[in-house]
Amino acid sequence: MPTTVWMNQLSWVDYQQRIRADHPPVLLPVGALEQHGPHLPLGTDAAINRG
């Protein structure tokens, strides 16, 4: 499991494992996140926009 705590840097699989591992999430709604498969982070669209 990645060591990052940023949801947008995790794949949806890693995020699901993290919250199942008794790590309750703290969410700050600042934008949209979308899954693109188990190999990409949830923040893929934001990363593409940043260039």
* 15, 42 Cβ separation under 8 angstroms: yes
Residue 38 belongs to some domain of the structure: yes
Q: Which domain holds residue 42?
A: 7-24+31-50
What per-residue confidence (pLDDT) applies to 31? 66
Question: Does pTM top 0.85 for this prediction?
Answer: no
Mean pLDDT of 22-51: 78
Residue 2 belongs to some domain of the structure: no
When divided into structural domains, the chain yields a total of 1
Residue 1 belongs to some domain of the structure: no
- Cβ-proximal residues to 32 (8 Å cutoff; 6+ apart), any chain: 45
C-alpha to C-alpha distance for 7 and 14, rounded to whole angstroms: 9
What per-residue confidence (pLDDT) applies to 39? 93
